Amino acid sequence: MPLDIVTIPCLSDNYAFLAHDAASGQTALVDAPEAGPILDELNRRGWSLSHVLLTHHHPDHVQGLATILDRHSAQVIGAASDAHRLPPLDMQVSDGDSFEFGGETVHVHDVSGHTVGHIAFHIPESHAAFTADSLMALGCGRVFEGTMDQMWASLQKLAALPDDTVIYSGHEYTQANGRFAQTIEPGNAALQKRIAEIAAAREKGQPTVPSTLAEEKATNPFLRAAESSVQAELGMKGADPAAVFAEIRTRKDNF
């Protein structure tokens, strides 16, 4: 049976995720923006936390952890390269590593760019990837610490996952991302359809995360820098996709 994955809104626009394996009773938390909503969800479902997976060191992804660990004894897993900035880790992992959780194998990918040492967790059997602030719904994280080339390489690594992978990203930025995406591909029919669906979901107070990788590849401008239509729209036909990505990211930074 695939893992039962729950999306938990935190703070003003963050998400945390719980992944639960019914057979073993193991439950993993991905990122800890805020303790209250996470503890409430664990209590409501009667789940006991066994693992915590941290994607990167930014406070809005780790600041709730200490309070959570006061209530639950869990193994904390994060990037070896970021260990000096993360809460204390019980397991340090690097790009290409894997570990077992809930009877499934979790694969670790370095997706540096937003930060150096940012990692994503891919669980193929459950068709899930936890990407936090690397690949996001209709967007990608701002390049704070890494380089544009680094972020493009990270996004290409994620884009190579199976199309049916469900992308669990870290923030509710999708509607704003959609407004920007329209400036890059105003003629993309799939994008227009998705924007309408996002508006309907937000009108009902529903999250727009997660999404599928197939959706992102069809509509997310940050994954589409190699598309001739995108390059033509930007006046960069035939350019290196990494340079096109950098132009798109720079435009978004100033949008």
74-89 pLDDT per residue, tens: 999 999 999 999 999 9
Q: Residue 1: count other Cβ atoms within 10 Å of its Cβ.
A: 10
Task: Give the pLDDT band (50/70/90) at residue 164.
Answer: very high
20 is in an annotated binding site: no
26-75 pLDDT per residue, tens: 999 999 999 999 999 999 999 999 999 999 999 999 999 999 999 999 99
Is 149 catalytic? The answer is no
Burial of 168 (0-12, 13-18, 19+ CB in 10 A): buried
Is 133 catalytic? The answer is yes
127 is in an annotated binding site: no
Q: Which residues pair with 169 in a beta bridge?
A: 132
Task: Give the pLDDT band (50/70/90) at residue 22.
Answer: very high
C-beta of residue 38 within 8 angstroms of C-beta of residue 32: yes
* Separation of alpha carbons 237 and 242, rounded Å: 13
Catalytic residue among 51, 57, 58, 109, which? 58
CATH of the domain at 172: 3.60.15.10
56 is in an annotated binding site: yes
Pick the closest to residue 76 from 101, 96, 95 (CA basis): 101
21 is in an annotated binding site: no
Is 118 catalytic? The answer is no
Alpha-helical segments (H) within the chain: 35-45, 59-62, 65-71, 148-159, 174-184, 189-203, 213-219, 228-233, 241-253
C-beta of residue 135 within 8 angstroms of C-beta of residue 223: yes
Catalytic residue among 31, 82, 110, 133, which? 133
115-124 pLDDT per residue, tens: 999 999 999 9
Give the number of domains in the chain: 1
Is 84 catalytic? The answer is no
pLDDT at 94: 98
Is 60 catalytic? The answer is yes
Residue-range definition of the domain harbouring residue 54: 4-253
Q: Which residues pair with 224 in a beta bridge?
A: none
What's the pTM value of the predicted model, to 2 decimals?
0.97
51 is in an annotated binding site: no
pLDDT at 1: 84
